[in-house]
Amino acid sequence: MFDIGIGEILIVAVIGLLVFGPERLPRAAADAAKWLKQIKVMASGARKDLADSAGIDLSETLDSVKSLQEFHPRRLAANLLNDEPAPPPTATPPAARPAFDPDAT
């Protein structure tokens, strides 16, 4: 969900330690976790209420969106060029590889 590394977590922990102190930091972290859990429950409830009021079945909608993946350009090109199915598309494209020139070395 979030792209947070160990460095960012350490920075937040040090800032929290400086702001709250070692005595109040565990209580503040527990309160923050409780708030995040409440927000997550409220968001899922709101999504369910909106889907119910609109008369939409979310599972059918998600299935229809997932069926559109077969029309991804990589998969279409792989089907045209060979019989092997292409891997499913990823959320983030892989890093671009530099062009290989054997005469350059």
Query: Using one digit for the tens of pLDDT, what is the confidence trace for 8-19?
Result: 989 988 998 999
16-20 CB contacts, 8 Å cutoff, 24+ apart: none
Backbone angles phi, psi at 101, to 5 degrees: -125, 105
pLDDT of 53 higher than 80: yes
Whether the model pTM is above 0.85: no
pLDDT of 92 higher than 60: no
Q: Where are the domains of the chain?
A: 8-55, 57-89
Q: Which two tokens stand for residue 12?
A: 């937040």
Chain Cα centroid distance, residue 42: 19
